[in-house]
Amino acid sequence: MTDTIHAGTVAHLRGDPFAGENTLEIIERGALAIDPSGRVALLGERDAVLDAFPESELVDHGDAWLIPGLIDAHLHFPQFYATAGFGNGLLDWLENTVYPAEARFADESFARAAAEQFIERLLTCGTTTAMVFGSQFYDANLALFEAAERSGIRLIAGMTLMDRNAPPMLLQTAEQSVDSIEKLIGLCRHAPRLHYAVTPRFALSCSPELLELCGSLLRSHPESYLQTHINETREEIAAVRTAFPQRRDYLDVYDSFGLITERTVLAHSIYTTEPEMDRMAETDCTVCHCPTSNSYLGSGLFPLRRHLRRGIRVAVGTDIGAGTQFSVWRELSETYKVQQLQDFCLNADQLLYLATLGGAKALGLESEAGNFEPGKSADFFVLDYEEDQYLAARLSRCENAVEQLFSLLQLADERHIASTYVHGHMAASRNGS
Protein backbone atom coordinates (compact mmCIF):
# COMPACT_ATOMS: atom_id res chain seq x y z
CA MET A 1 0.00 0.00 0.00
CA THR A 2 1.22 3.50 -0.82
CA ASP A 3 0.96 6.81 0.94
CA THR A 4 -1.69 9.29 -0.15
CA ILE A 5 -1.04 12.97 -0.64
CA HIS A 6 -3.86 15.51 -0.25
CA ALA A 7 -3.00 18.87 -1.81
CA GLY A 8 -4.69 22.21 -1.08
CA THR A 9 -4.41 25.15 1.30
CA VAL A 10 -3.53 23.53 4.60
CA ALA A 11 -4.39 25.32 7.86
CA HIS A 12 -3.84 24.24 11.45
CA LEU A 13 -2.38 25.32 14.78
CA ARG A 14 0.83 24.06 16.29
CA GLY A 15 0.18 25.46 19.79
CA ASP A 16 -2.08 27.54 22.00
CA PRO A 17 -2.77 31.08 20.70
CA PHE A 18 -4.36 32.02 24.05
CA ALA A 19 -0.93 31.48 25.59
CA GLY A 20 0.43 34.19 23.29
CA GLU A 21 2.01 31.71 20.92
CA ASN A 22 1.89 32.54 17.23
CA THR A 23 1.21 29.04 16.03
CA LEU A 24 -1.22 29.35 13.16
CA GLU A 25 0.27 27.72 10.09
CA ILE A 26 -1.34 28.22 6.69
CA ILE A 27 0.39 26.71 3.67
CA GLU A 28 -1.29 28.00 0.53
CA ARG A 29 0.16 25.50 -1.94
CA GLY A 30 0.43 22.86 0.70
CA ALA A 31 0.03 19.12 1.04
CA LEU A 32 -0.50 16.46 3.60
CA ALA A 33 1.03 13.00 3.16
CA ILE A 34 -0.87 10.20 4.87
CA ASP A 35 0.66 6.80 5.46
CA PRO A 36 -1.23 3.57 4.74
CA SER A 37 -2.17 3.21 8.41
CA GLY A 38 -4.13 6.51 8.25
CA ARG A 39 -1.64 8.72 10.07
CA VAL A 40 -0.06 12.00 9.01
CA ALA A 41 3.39 11.32 7.55
CA LEU A 42 4.35 14.82 6.45
CA LEU A 43 2.94 18.32 6.11
CA GLY A 44 4.56 20.97 3.95
CA GLU A 45 4.77 22.79 0.65
CA ARG A 46 3.12 20.77 -2.07
CA ASP A 47 6.27 20.25 -4.16
CA ALA A 48 8.37 19.21 -1.19
CA VAL A 49 5.78 16.67 -0.05
CA LEU A 50 5.44 15.28 -3.58
CA ASP A 51 9.22 14.96 -3.83
CA ALA A 52 9.39 13.18 -0.48
CA PHE A 53 6.75 10.62 -1.50
CA PRO A 54 7.18 10.14 -5.27
CA GLU A 55 5.25 6.86 -5.36
CA SER A 56 2.18 8.13 -3.60
CA GLU A 57 -1.34 8.65 -4.89
CA LEU A 58 -2.28 12.35 -5.24
CA VAL A 59 -5.70 13.74 -4.33
CA ASP A 60 -5.65 17.30 -5.57
CA HIS A 61 -8.23 19.51 -3.86
CA GLY A 62 -7.23 22.58 -5.88
CA ASP A 63 -7.65 25.79 -3.90
CA ALA A 64 -9.81 24.17 -1.23
CA TRP A 65 -8.70 24.32 2.40
CA LEU A 66 -7.68 21.23 4.39
CA ILE A 67 -8.49 21.75 8.07
CA PRO A 68 -8.18 19.38 11.06
CA GLY A 69 -11.41 17.55 11.87
CA LEU A 70 -13.65 19.55 14.19
CA ILE A 71 -14.23 18.49 17.78
CA ASP A 72 -17.78 18.73 19.06
CA ALA A 73 -17.40 18.28 22.80
CA HIS A 74 -21.07 18.33 23.71
CA LEU A 75 -24.27 17.16 22.04
CA HIS A 76 -27.18 14.81 22.66
CA PHE A 77 -27.94 11.84 20.40
CA PRO A 78 -31.61 11.41 21.46
CA GLN A 79 -32.25 15.07 20.71
CA PHE A 80 -31.45 14.51 17.05
CA TYR A 81 -35.05 15.28 16.13
CA ALA A 82 -35.64 17.75 18.96
CA THR A 83 -33.77 20.73 17.53
CA ALA A 84 -35.71 23.95 17.19
CA GLY A 85 -38.39 22.85 19.65
CA PHE A 86 -40.14 25.50 21.70
CA GLY A 87 -39.21 26.06 25.32
CA ASN A 88 -39.41 28.90 27.78
CA GLY A 89 -35.99 28.40 29.36
CA LEU A 90 -34.07 25.20 30.09
CA LEU A 91 -36.35 23.44 32.57
CA ASP A 92 -39.54 24.09 30.61
CA TRP A 93 -37.85 23.02 27.37
CA LEU A 94 -36.56 19.79 28.96
CA GLU A 95 -39.98 18.85 30.24
CA ASN A 96 -42.06 19.75 27.21
CA THR A 97 -39.76 19.22 24.23
CA VAL A 98 -36.81 17.08 25.19
CA TYR A 99 -38.12 14.32 27.40
CA PRO A 100 -40.91 13.31 24.98
CA ALA A 101 -38.37 13.30 22.11
CA GLU A 102 -35.89 11.21 24.10
CA ALA A 103 -38.58 8.67 25.00
CA ARG A 104 -38.92 7.76 21.30
CA PHE A 105 -35.48 6.15 21.48
CA ALA A 106 -36.98 3.24 23.41
CA ASP A 107 -37.89 1.92 19.96
CA GLU A 108 -34.77 0.16 18.75
CA SER A 109 -35.43 0.43 15.02
CA PHE A 110 -36.20 4.13 15.39
CA ALA A 111 -32.95 4.58 17.31
CA ARG A 112 -30.92 2.59 14.76
CA ALA A 113 -32.10 4.75 11.88
CA ALA A 114 -31.43 7.88 13.94
CA ALA A 115 -27.92 6.69 14.83
CA GLU A 116 -26.94 6.34 11.18
CA GLN A 117 -28.26 9.78 10.32
CA PHE A 118 -26.76 11.37 13.41
CA ILE A 119 -23.24 10.15 12.65
CA GLU A 120 -23.58 11.02 8.98
CA ARG A 121 -24.70 14.54 9.87
CA LEU A 122 -21.69 15.06 12.14
CA LEU A 123 -19.28 13.93 9.45
CA THR A 124 -20.97 16.07 6.82
CA CYS A 125 -20.32 19.05 9.09
CA GLY A 126 -16.61 18.24 9.37
CA THR A 127 -16.81 16.78 12.88
CA THR A 128 -14.42 13.88 13.36
CA THR A 129 -14.55 13.67 17.17
CA ALA A 130 -17.77 13.99 19.14
CA MET A 131 -18.57 13.74 22.83
CA VAL A 132 -22.17 12.68 23.04
CA PHE A 133 -24.88 12.19 25.63
CA GLY A 134 -26.41 8.86 24.65
CA SER A 135 -29.92 7.60 25.14
CA GLN A 136 -31.45 6.29 28.36
CA PHE A 137 -31.96 2.98 26.48
CA TYR A 138 -29.22 0.41 26.07
CA ASP A 139 -30.16 -0.70 22.52
CA ALA A 140 -30.14 2.87 21.27
CA ASN A 141 -26.65 3.39 22.70
CA LEU A 142 -25.44 0.17 21.14
CA ALA A 143 -26.79 1.43 17.80
CA LEU A 144 -24.93 4.70 18.29
CA PHE A 145 -21.60 3.05 19.08
CA GLU A 146 -22.00 0.61 16.19
CA ALA A 147 -22.84 3.36 13.69
CA ALA A 148 -19.85 5.34 14.92
CA GLU A 149 -17.50 2.40 14.59
CA ARG A 150 -18.67 1.68 11.04
CA SER A 151 -18.08 5.29 10.02
CA GLY A 152 -14.70 5.67 11.69
CA ILE A 153 -15.65 8.83 13.62
CA ARG A 154 -14.08 9.17 17.10
CA LEU A 155 -16.93 8.93 19.60
CA ILE A 156 -16.96 9.51 23.33
CA ALA A 157 -20.44 8.65 24.61
CA GLY A 158 -22.40 7.16 27.44
CA MET A 159 -25.86 6.27 28.61
CA THR A 160 -27.70 9.34 29.92
CA LEU A 161 -28.49 8.61 33.56
CA MET A 162 -31.51 9.95 35.39
CA ASP A 163 -33.44 8.57 38.32
CA ARG A 164 -35.68 11.50 39.20
CA ASN A 165 -37.61 14.53 37.93
CA ALA A 166 -38.54 13.15 34.51
CA PRO A 167 -41.19 10.83 33.00
CA PRO A 168 -40.87 7.33 34.54
CA MET A 169 -39.92 5.62 31.29
CA LEU A 170 -36.70 7.68 31.16
CA LEU A 171 -35.67 6.83 34.71
CA GLN A 172 -33.43 4.00 35.87
CA THR A 173 -32.03 3.32 39.29
CA ALA A 174 -28.30 2.91 39.76
CA GLU A 175 -28.83 -0.81 40.14
CA GLN A 176 -30.84 -1.06 36.90
CA SER A 177 -28.31 0.81 34.79
CA VAL A 178 -25.05 -0.73 35.90
CA ASP A 179 -25.10 -3.85 33.66
CA SER A 180 -25.82 -1.84 30.53
CA ILE A 181 -23.01 0.56 31.32
CA GLU A 182 -20.53 -2.24 31.96
CA LYS A 183 -21.43 -3.82 28.60
CA LEU A 184 -20.93 -0.55 26.75
CA ILE A 185 -17.61 0.04 28.51
CA GLY A 186 -16.56 -3.47 27.42
CA LEU A 187 -17.47 -2.64 23.82
CA CYS A 188 -15.34 0.52 23.86
CA ARG A 189 -12.37 -1.40 25.18
CA HIS A 190 -12.10 -3.23 21.84
CA ALA A 191 -12.55 -0.23 19.55
CA PRO A 192 -9.71 2.29 19.42
CA ARG A 193 -11.93 5.24 18.39
CA LEU A 194 -14.74 4.59 20.85
CA HIS A 195 -14.58 5.83 24.44
CA TYR A 196 -17.07 5.58 27.26
CA ALA A 197 -18.26 8.60 29.23
CA VAL A 198 -20.16 8.15 32.48
CA THR A 199 -23.10 10.51 31.90
CA PRO A 200 -25.23 11.71 34.81
CA ARG A 201 -27.57 14.18 33.04
CA PHE A 202 -27.31 16.95 35.63
CA ALA A 203 -27.66 17.27 39.38
CA LEU A 204 -31.44 17.71 39.18
CA SER A 205 -31.91 14.34 37.44
CA CYS A 206 -29.76 12.35 39.83
CA SER A 207 -30.19 11.08 43.36
CA PRO A 208 -27.16 10.77 45.63
CA GLU A 209 -27.25 7.00 45.00
CA LEU A 210 -26.96 7.50 41.24
CA LEU A 211 -24.10 9.99 41.63
CA GLU A 212 -22.45 7.48 43.96
CA LEU A 213 -22.65 4.86 41.19
CA CYS A 214 -21.01 7.31 38.76
CA GLY A 215 -18.12 7.81 41.16
CA SER A 216 -17.63 4.09 41.60
CA LEU A 217 -17.72 3.52 37.81
CA LEU A 218 -14.99 6.13 37.36
CA ARG A 219 -12.87 4.48 40.02
CA SER A 220 -13.23 1.02 38.46
CA HIS A 221 -12.82 2.29 34.87
CA PRO A 222 -10.30 5.13 35.08
CA GLU A 223 -10.05 5.28 31.28
CA SER A 224 -13.67 6.50 31.17
CA TYR A 225 -14.67 10.13 30.90
CA LEU A 226 -17.39 11.89 32.85
CA GLN A 227 -19.75 14.37 31.18
CA THR A 228 -22.55 16.41 32.67
CA HIS A 229 -24.04 19.93 32.75
CA ILE A 230 -23.28 22.74 35.18
CA ASN A 231 -24.39 26.33 35.93
CA GLU A 232 -26.45 26.73 32.79
CA THR A 233 -29.36 28.84 34.07
CA ARG A 234 -30.19 30.73 37.26
CA GLU A 235 -33.43 28.80 37.71
CA GLU A 236 -31.55 25.50 37.49
CA ILE A 237 -28.90 26.64 39.97
CA ALA A 238 -31.56 27.65 42.50
CA ALA A 239 -33.21 24.23 42.14
CA VAL A 240 -29.86 22.48 42.65
CA ARG A 241 -29.33 24.50 45.83
CA THR A 242 -32.70 23.28 47.12
CA ALA A 243 -32.03 19.66 46.12
CA PHE A 244 -28.53 19.54 47.65
CA PRO A 245 -28.64 22.07 50.53
CA GLN A 246 -25.60 20.61 52.25
CA ARG A 247 -23.28 21.25 49.28
CA ARG A 248 -21.23 24.45 48.98
CA ASP A 249 -22.14 25.06 45.33
CA TYR A 250 -23.16 23.29 42.11
CA LEU A 251 -19.66 21.98 41.37
CA ASP A 252 -19.42 20.61 44.89
CA VAL A 253 -22.46 18.38 44.26
CA TYR A 254 -20.44 16.51 41.63
CA ASP A 255 -17.12 16.90 43.39
CA SER A 256 -18.39 15.34 46.60
CA PHE A 257 -19.04 12.11 44.64
CA GLY A 258 -15.57 12.09 43.04
CA LEU A 259 -16.86 13.16 39.63
CA ILE A 260 -14.55 16.10 38.96
CA THR A 261 -11.24 14.98 37.46
CA GLU A 262 -9.06 15.77 34.44
CA ARG A 263 -11.36 13.46 32.41
CA THR A 264 -14.51 15.44 33.28
CA VAL A 265 -16.27 17.65 30.73
CA LEU A 266 -18.80 20.14 32.11
CA ALA A 267 -21.17 21.77 29.64
CA HIS A 268 -22.08 25.48 29.87
CA SER A 269 -20.52 26.87 33.09
CA ILE A 270 -22.14 30.27 32.56
CA TYR A 271 -22.74 31.28 36.18
CA THR A 272 -19.71 29.55 37.71
CA THR A 273 -18.46 31.32 40.81
CA GLU A 274 -14.87 32.19 41.70
CA PRO A 275 -14.52 29.33 44.22
CA GLU A 276 -15.94 26.91 41.66
CA MET A 277 -13.43 28.12 39.08
CA ASP A 278 -10.61 27.68 41.58
CA ARG A 279 -11.69 24.10 42.05
CA MET A 280 -12.07 23.52 38.30
CA ALA A 281 -8.51 24.73 37.77
CA GLU A 282 -7.25 22.58 40.63
CA THR A 283 -8.90 19.42 39.32
CA ASP A 284 -7.98 20.27 35.68
CA CYS A 285 -11.45 19.44 34.41
CA THR A 286 -12.72 20.78 31.10
CA VAL A 287 -15.57 23.15 30.31
CA CYS A 288 -17.54 23.03 27.08
CA HIS A 289 -18.98 26.23 25.64
CA CYS A 290 -22.16 25.87 23.56
CA PRO A 291 -22.99 29.37 22.28
CA THR A 292 -25.93 28.61 20.01
CA SER A 293 -27.64 26.64 22.76
CA ASN A 294 -26.99 29.36 25.32
CA SER A 295 -28.60 31.98 23.09
CA TYR A 296 -31.45 29.72 22.03
CA LEU A 297 -32.51 28.89 25.58
CA GLY A 298 -31.70 32.39 26.80
CA SER A 299 -29.29 30.86 29.29
CA GLY A 300 -26.66 33.61 29.32
CA LEU A 301 -23.19 34.67 28.14
CA PHE A 302 -20.33 32.28 28.73
CA PRO A 303 -17.37 34.00 30.49
CA LEU A 304 -14.60 32.52 28.34
CA ARG A 305 -11.91 34.96 29.45
CA ARG A 306 -12.43 34.17 33.13
CA HIS A 307 -12.09 30.45 32.45
CA LEU A 308 -8.98 30.90 30.31
CA ARG A 309 -7.29 33.17 32.86
CA ARG A 310 -7.50 30.33 35.36
CA GLY A 311 -6.01 27.89 32.86
CA ILE A 312 -9.25 25.93 32.63
CA ARG A 313 -9.40 23.97 29.39
CA VAL A 314 -12.30 24.99 27.15
CA ALA A 315 -13.84 23.14 24.22
CA VAL A 316 -16.79 24.02 21.98
CA GLY A 317 -19.98 22.04 21.45
CA THR A 318 -23.14 22.29 19.39
CA ASP A 319 -25.36 20.98 22.22
CA ILE A 320 -27.87 19.53 19.77
CA GLY A 321 -30.83 19.86 20.39
CA ALA A 322 -30.73 23.12 22.37
CA GLY A 323 -28.20 24.10 19.75
CA THR A 324 -30.02 24.48 16.48
CA GLN A 325 -27.39 23.24 14.07
CA PHE A 326 -24.72 20.54 13.78
CA SER A 327 -21.80 22.62 12.59
CA VAL A 328 -19.00 23.30 15.08
CA TRP A 329 -17.63 25.71 12.48
CA ARG A 330 -20.76 27.82 12.85
CA GLU A 331 -20.48 27.55 16.63
CA LEU A 332 -17.13 29.33 16.28
CA SER A 333 -18.82 32.30 14.66
CA GLU A 334 -21.36 32.29 17.50
CA THR A 335 -18.51 32.06 20.02
CA TYR A 336 -17.01 35.13 18.44
CA LYS A 337 -20.27 37.09 18.82
CA VAL A 338 -20.90 35.99 22.40
CA GLN A 339 -17.38 37.08 23.38
CA GLN A 340 -17.74 40.37 21.48
CA LEU A 341 -20.71 41.11 23.71
CA GLN A 342 -18.31 40.80 26.65
CA ASP A 343 -15.50 42.93 25.15
CA PHE A 344 -13.36 39.91 24.37
CA CYS A 345 -12.35 39.96 20.71
CA LEU A 346 -11.16 36.61 19.40
CA ASN A 347 -8.98 36.29 16.32
CA ALA A 348 -8.93 33.54 13.70
CA ASP A 349 -6.19 31.56 15.45
CA GLN A 350 -8.08 31.53 18.75
CA LEU A 351 -11.36 30.53 17.15
CA LEU A 352 -9.88 27.70 15.12
CA TYR A 353 -7.93 26.52 18.15
CA LEU A 354 -11.08 26.07 20.26
CA ALA A 355 -12.55 23.55 17.81
CA THR A 356 -9.33 21.72 16.87
CA LEU A 357 -6.16 21.54 18.98
CA GLY A 358 -7.79 23.19 22.00
CA GLY A 359 -10.72 20.78 21.80
CA ALA A 360 -8.31 17.85 21.52
CA LYS A 361 -6.37 19.04 24.57
CA ALA A 362 -9.61 19.55 26.46
CA LEU A 363 -10.51 15.92 25.82
CA GLY A 364 -7.00 14.59 26.46
CA LEU A 365 -6.70 13.56 22.81
CA GLU A 366 -3.87 15.84 21.69
CA SER A 367 -1.55 12.95 20.90
CA GLU A 368 -4.11 11.69 18.37
CA ALA A 369 -6.08 14.66 17.07
CA GLY A 370 -6.30 18.43 16.73
CA ASN A 371 -3.66 19.26 14.11
CA PHE A 372 -1.48 17.79 11.36
CA GLU A 373 1.58 16.85 13.35
CA PRO A 374 3.17 13.70 11.91
CA GLY A 375 2.00 10.58 13.69
CA LYS A 376 -1.47 11.90 14.47
CA SER A 377 -4.57 10.36 13.02
CA ALA A 378 -5.35 11.98 9.64
CA ASP A 379 -8.73 13.49 10.52
CA PHE A 380 -9.61 16.49 8.38
CA PHE A 381 -12.18 18.13 6.19
CA VAL A 382 -12.05 19.91 2.87
CA LEU A 383 -13.57 23.38 2.74
CA ASP A 384 -14.32 24.31 -0.86
CA TYR A 385 -16.23 27.55 -1.45
CA GLU A 386 -15.47 28.01 -5.16
CA GLU A 387 -19.06 27.31 -6.21
CA ASP A 388 -20.37 29.96 -3.82
CA GLN A 389 -19.92 33.07 -5.93
CA TYR A 390 -20.44 35.53 -3.11
CA LEU A 391 -18.02 33.80 -0.74
CA ALA A 392 -15.42 33.38 -3.48
CA ALA A 393 -15.70 37.09 -4.34
CA ARG A 394 -15.54 38.10 -0.67
CA LEU A 395 -12.43 36.02 -0.06
CA SER A 396 -10.71 37.33 -3.16
CA ARG A 397 -10.84 40.78 -1.49
CA CYS A 398 -8.85 39.60 1.55
CA GLU A 399 -5.28 40.82 1.92
CA ASN A 400 -3.84 37.52 3.08
CA ALA A 401 -4.61 33.96 4.13
CA VAL A 402 -5.20 34.84 7.80
CA GLU A 403 -7.87 37.35 6.78
CA GLN A 404 -9.37 34.69 4.54
CA LEU A 405 -9.50 32.24 7.41
CA PHE A 406 -11.24 34.78 9.59
CA SER A 407 -13.87 35.45 6.90
CA LEU A 408 -14.32 31.74 6.34
CA LEU A 409 -14.89 31.28 10.06
CA GLN A 410 -17.68 33.84 9.90
CA LEU A 411 -19.23 33.01 6.54
CA ALA A 412 -18.64 29.37 5.64
CA ASP A 413 -20.78 26.51 6.86
CA GLU A 414 -21.37 22.83 6.22
CA ARG A 415 -22.60 23.52 2.67
CA HIS A 416 -19.02 24.43 1.81
CA ILE A 417 -17.57 21.17 3.12
CA ALA A 418 -16.72 18.98 0.13
CA SER A 419 -15.56 15.93 2.10
CA THR A 420 -14.50 14.72 5.53
CA TYR A 421 -11.75 12.19 6.24
CA VAL A 422 -11.29 10.08 9.34
CA HIS A 423 -8.02 8.26 9.89
CA GLY A 424 -7.12 8.87 6.25
CA HIS A 425 -10.37 7.52 4.79
CA MET A 426 -13.12 9.56 3.23
CA ALA A 427 -16.12 9.22 5.56
CA ALA A 428 -18.48 11.79 4.02
CA SER A 429 -18.66 13.76 0.83
CA ARG A 430 -20.95 16.42 -0.59
CA ASN A 431 -21.42 14.33 -3.74
CA GLY A 432 -22.24 11.25 -1.72
CA SER A 433 -19.40 9.33 -3.41
Span of 11-19, 255-263, 264-272, 413-421 interacting with Zn ion by CB under 5 A: 264-272
Q: Which does residue 98 bind out of ligand GUN, Zn ion, none, counting CB within 5 to 8 angstroms by kind? A: ligand GUN
For residue 54, give the H/E element and its range: none
259 vs 369 by CB, closer to ligand GUN: 259
Amino acid letter, 254:
Y
62 vs 298 by CB, closer to ligand GUN: 298
Q: Which does residue 201 bind out of Zn ion, ligand GUN, none, counting CB within 5 to 8 angstroms by kind? A: ligand GUN
Contacts with ligand GUN by CB under 6 A lie at 76, 90, 94, 98, 201-202, 229, 232, 293, 319, 322
Closest separation between CB of residue 105 and ligand GUN, Å?
Answer: 13
Strands 154-158 and 225-230: unpaired
The Cα diameter of the chain in Å comes to: 67
Closest separation between CB of residue 230 and Zn ion, Å?
Answer: 10
Closest separation between CB of residue 169 and ligand GUN, Å?
Answer: 16
414 binds Zn ion (CB under 5 A): no
319 binds Zn ion (CB under 5 A): yes
Assess whether the previous peptide bond of 8 is cis (omega < 30° from 0).
no
Closest separation between CB of residue 293 and Zn ion, Å?
Answer: 7
Q: Which of 129, 126, 113 is nearest to 78 (CA)?
A: 113
Closest separation between CB of residue 401 and ligand GUN, Å?
Answer: 36
166 vs 267 by CB, closer to Zn ion: 267
Q: How far apart (Å, rounded) are the C-alpha atoms in residues 409 and 404?
A: 9
11 vs 267 by CB, closer to Zn ion: 267
Q: Which does residue 314 bind out of ligand GUN, Zn ion, none, counting CB within 5 to 8 angstroms by kind? A: none
- Is residue 148 exposed (0-12), middle (13-18) or buried (19+ Cβ within 10 Å)? buried
| Residues in Cβ contact with 3 at an 8 Å cutoff, skipping those fewer than 6 apart | 33, 34, 35, 36, 41, 53, 55, 56, 57
Q: Which of 34, 122, 124 is nearest to 383 (CA)?
A: 124
Distance of CA 64 to the CA centre of its chain: 24
Q: How far apart (Å, rounded) are the C-alpha atoms in residues 43 and 27?
A: 9
7 vs 98 by CB, closer to ligand GUN: 98
Question: Is residue 118 a contact partner of residue 61, using CB atoms and an 8 Å limit?
Answer: no
Binding site for Zn ion (CB under 5 A): 267, 319
